[in-house]
């Protein structure tokens, strides 16, 4: 599996090996009050389009009401205009990144991410550009676009995590026909000299060359539900994926009305169609415009209906693992583009013209706090090897991708009777209803010890549950197969391979500078050894040497059978951790040698080494 699939900063396996976190204090449960806090517990960025002074004063970031709402409610921002051509290339030979820089600096000062928007669009040009394009050759247009993309992406490299590379390139459909590409100076007037979606692919390649780490998106509207326009985009994305064009995601703008928005089923269908191609989706520009009365107000009923629309979209996004960001198009109704672009409409955002929360704010909070976490049995892996498959009694597992949990790492603390807790930071994992001893919890990465009660079963139902401390308890289940043993050896680095966390007989760490003597012994620590005779109490510390794992244990080092001196619980560590002591067989070459333990018929992962003198 790809452990980085969710793109979040939650992947911390290097420091959060279970041994390291046992002594950390458990994070207290804290009720969330802002969208930003609630979104942190879902590991999803929540964003808003924002402005500085790109079109002159006032500088919105100097308005405390605006700035405080932006930084307290949102964890991401996207310049609504400051990174578009009309601002960033005011003359043919000059760039202006100052307003974008100011927005990026604000984001960085407030721990927010930045989406970049956009590099190639059919409109919002500086005044010189359309006249230039009218007489330019395709080769000149290609040079112009390449230079612009390269300069802008390079300027913001490392500070913008995702770019809308090409914006709104497809026509709106007439009838059921799949629409073609929109006329534009980059496509056909005169274009950059490439046919079809070739200009779009080329823009992605230029952006990728300038910042290989940025996520690259195609962004458009009216593609949130199945239909000919989505089909056109999906066909292009499929072609890009097939041909290695560096595209990571599609932006669903989500400019909707109460009378027109995708149903949960329709949105789900489109999210899943892109997930099947390995493509992420960001909801990039959500607003829900309402008809205003002569006083400029929306009706209470419309505001309630709007709240439901926002909740439906966010809930659906949270349920699909490839929906990895949610953003609204403006900080509040006071600064929304809607009244200007759609006369008679407004009140489209979760905060009103006075920057006060609307029903849509509350419904977004509800979606964040009550949507069941995603859970997928194939993301349940052994905590030492990171390999998935069946789980074994006593195995320490790490569950990735459960997208609701403590925003900050919560570690286990032993209770008064010396037992591992069954709840850390509000997170619990149950196997067929039996609460498991918990090692640590962090949204998207939770570690627990499979109860010994699963021994002898064919499969087990894993239930992951989170209590946010605000009265919301939500859970989800996944069924995984059970095996008698699934041994895995702890390694020193986070990859589940490389040097083992192996001790020499004097309890010093085996390493290149501290190899085991050719006639010495090593102590291996692992998990997944299966049931333990006589001391299989969930969450208790191992009672001491003597009781054995219930299946025969063998081992090899350097491919040679090694004499097993001891195999059983690891005294002083939690039940489920196994310790295997080996004597080093004669005749091994000096240096790192692969170590494998086998419990019953199952063997530990490849690639673990101990160093021999």
Which residue, 116 or 373, has its beta carbon nearer to ligand XIL? Answer: 116
CA atoms within 13 A on the CB side of 599: 29
Q: What is the 3-state secondary structure (H, E, C) of 210-269?
A: HCCCCEEEEEECCCCCCCHHHHHHHHHHHHHHHCCCCCCEEEECCEEECCECCCHHHHHH
Residue corresponding to tokens 């009378």: 259
| 224 lies in the binding site for ligand XIL (CB under 6 A) | no
Question: Minimum Å distance from CB 117 to ligand XIL?
Answer: 6
What is the C-alpha separation between 288 and 257, in angstroms, rounded?
A: 5
Structure tokens at 149: 């993309």
Q: Which residues of 481-514 are buried (b: 16+ CB within 10 A; e: fewer)?
A: ebbbbbbbbbbbebebbebbbbbbbeeeebeeee
From residue 386 to residue 425, the character string flagging contacts with ligand XIL as x (rule: CB under 6 A) and all else as - is: ----------------------------------------
Tell me the number of residues near ligand XIL by CB under 6 A. 7
Give the DSSP letter string of 336-358.
Answer: -SHHHHSTTEE--SSB-TTS-B-
Question: Minimum Å distance from CB 5 to ligand XIL?
Answer: 26
Of the candidates 336, 287, 331, 357, the one whose C-alpha atom is nearest the C-alpha of residue 103 is: 331
CA 84 to the chain's CA centroid: 27
Indicate which residue of 16, 54, 78, 168 is catalytic. Answer: 168
Q: Tell me how crowded residue 241 is: count the other CB atoms within 10 A of its CB.
A: 14
Under DSSP, the state recorded for 589 is P
Residues numbered 119 to 138 that lie near ligand XIL (CB under 6 A) are 124
Question: Minimum Å distance from CB 164 to ligand XIL?
Answer: 7
Question: Minimum Å distance from CB 52 to ligand XIL?
Answer: 13
Which residue, 72 or 124, has its beta carbon nearer to ligand XIL? Answer: 124
Question: Minimum Å distance from CB 287 to ligand XIL?
Answer: 9
Is 168 a known active-site residue?
A: yes
Give the DSSP letter string of 30-79.
Answer: ----SHHHHHHTTT--EEEEE--STTSS--GGG-HHHHHHHHHH-SEEEE
Which residue, 80 or 569, has its beta carbon nearer to ligand XIL? Answer: 80
Structure tokens at 325: 């960001």
Question: Minimum Å distance from CB 309 to ligand XIL?
Answer: 18
From residue 69 to residue 108, the character string flagging contacts with ligand XIL as x (rule: CB under 6 A) and all else as - is: -----------xx---------------------------
Question: Minimum Å distance from CB 346 to ligand XIL?
Answer: 13
Residue corresponding to tokens 């995601």: 249
Among residues 78, 102, 248, 253, the one that binds ligand XIL under rule CB under 6 A: 253
Q: In the complex, which residue's CB is closest to ligand XIL? A: 337
| 249 lies in the binding site for ligand XIL (CB under 6 A) | no
| 285 lies in the binding site for ligand XIL (CB under 6 A) | yes
User: Is 220:164 a contact under the CB 8 Å cutoff?
Assistant: no
CA angle 395/502/409 to nearest 5° reads 50
**Phi, psi torsion values for 174, nearest 5 degrees:** -110, 115
Among residues 37, 167, 444, 447, the one that binds ligand XIL under rule CB under 6 A: 167
Residues numbered 29 to 58 that lie near ligand XIL (CB under 6 A) are none
Which residue, 237 or 374, has its beta carbon nearer to ligand XIL? Answer: 237
Residues numbered 323 to 352 that lie near ligand XIL (CB under 6 A) are 337
Which residue, 124 or 477, has its beta carbon nearer to ligand XIL? Answer: 124
Question: Minimum Å distance from CB 119 to ligand XIL?
Answer: 12
Which residue, 224 or 253, has its beta carbon nearer to ligand XIL? Answer: 253
Which residue, 5 or 342, has its beta carbon nearer to ligand XIL? Answer: 342
Indicate which residue of 16, 285, 369, 395 is catalytic. Answer: 285
Which residue, 337 or 566, has its beta carbon nearer to ligand XIL? Answer: 337
Structure tokens at 140: 């000149």
Structure tokens at 602: 């199952």
What is the C-alpha separation between 379 and 270, in angstroms, rounded?
A: 23
Is 152 a known active-site residue?
A: no
Residue numbers at the binding site for ligand XIL (CB under 6 A): 80-81, 124, 167, 253, 285, 337
What is the set of active-site residues?
Answer: 168, 285
């Amino acid at each position: 599996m790809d452990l980085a699939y969710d793109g979040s900063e939650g992947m911390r396996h290097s420091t959060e090996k279970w041994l390291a976190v046992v002594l950390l204090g458990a994070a207290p449960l804290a009720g969330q009050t802002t969208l930003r806090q609630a979104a942190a517990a879902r590991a999803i960025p929540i964003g808003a389009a924002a402005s500085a002074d790109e079109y002159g004063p006032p500088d919105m970031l100097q308005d405390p009401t605006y700035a405080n709402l932006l930084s307290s409610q949102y964890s991401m921002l996207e310049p609504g205009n400051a990174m578009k051509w009309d601002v960033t290339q005011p003359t043919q030979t000059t760039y202006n990144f100052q307003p974008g820089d100011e927005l990026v600096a604000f984001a960085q000062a407030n721990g927010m991410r930045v989406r970049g928007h956009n590099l190639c669009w059919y409109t919002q040009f500086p005044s010189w550009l359309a006249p230039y394009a009218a007489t330019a050759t395709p080769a000149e247009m290609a040079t112009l676009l390449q230079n612009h993309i390269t300069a802008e992406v390079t300027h913001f490299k490392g500070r913008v995590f995702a770019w809308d590379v090409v914006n709104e390139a497809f026509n709106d459909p007439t009838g059921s026909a799949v629409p073609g590409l929109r006329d534009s100076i980059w496509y056909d007037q005169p274009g950059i000299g490439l046919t079809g979606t070739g200009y779009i692919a080329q823009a992605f390649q230029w952006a990728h060359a300038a910042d290989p780490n940025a996520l690259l998106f195609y962004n458009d509207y009216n593609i949130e539900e199945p239909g000919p326009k989505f089909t056109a985009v999906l066909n292009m994305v499929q072609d890009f994926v097939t041909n290695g064009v560096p595209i990571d995601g599609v932006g669903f703008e989500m400019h909707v009305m109460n009378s027109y928005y995708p149903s949960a089923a329709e949105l789900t269908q489109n999210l899943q169609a892109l997930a099947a191609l390995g493509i992420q989706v960001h909801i990039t520009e959500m607003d829900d415009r309402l008809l205003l009365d002569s006083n400029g107000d929306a009706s209470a009923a419309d505001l309630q209906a709007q709240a439901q629309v926002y909740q439906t979209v966010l809930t659906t996004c949270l349920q699909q693992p490839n929906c990895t960001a949610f953003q609204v198009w403006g900080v509040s109704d006071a600064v929304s583009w809607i009244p200007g672009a759609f006369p008679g409409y407004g009140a489209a955002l979760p905060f009103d013209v006075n920057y006060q929360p609307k029903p849509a704010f509350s419904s977004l909070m509800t979606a964040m706090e009550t949507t069941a976490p995603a859970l997928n049995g194939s993301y349940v892996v052994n905590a030492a090897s990171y390999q998935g498959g069946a789980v074994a009694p006593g195995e320490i597992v790490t569950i990735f991708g459960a997208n609701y949990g403590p925003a900050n790492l919560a570690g286990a603390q032993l209770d008064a009777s010396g037992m591992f807790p069954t709840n850390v930071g509000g997170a619990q994992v149950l196997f067929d209803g039996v609460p498991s001893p918990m090692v640590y919890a962090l949204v998207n990465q939770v570690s627990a010890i499979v109860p010994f009660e699963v021994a002898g079963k064919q499969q087990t139902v894993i239930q992951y549950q989170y209590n946010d401390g605000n009265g919301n308890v939500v859970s989800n289940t996944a069924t995984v197969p059970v095996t008698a043993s699934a041994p895995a050896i702890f390694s020193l680095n986070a990859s589940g391979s490389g040097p083992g966390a192996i001790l020499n007989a004097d309890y010093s760490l085996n390493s290149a500078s501290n190899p085991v003597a050719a006639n010495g012994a090593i102590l291996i620590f692992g998990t997944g050894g299966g049931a333990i005779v006589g001391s299989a109490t969930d969450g208790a510390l191992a009672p001491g040497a003597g009781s054995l794992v219930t299946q025969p244990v063998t081992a090899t080092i350097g491919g040679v059978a090694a004499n097993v001196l001891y195999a059983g619980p690891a005294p002083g560590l939690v039940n489920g951790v196994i310790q295997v002591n080996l004597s080093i067989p004669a005749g091994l070459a000096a240096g790192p040698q692969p170590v494998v333990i086998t419990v019953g018929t199952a063997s530990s992962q490849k690639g673990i080494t101990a160093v021999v003198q």
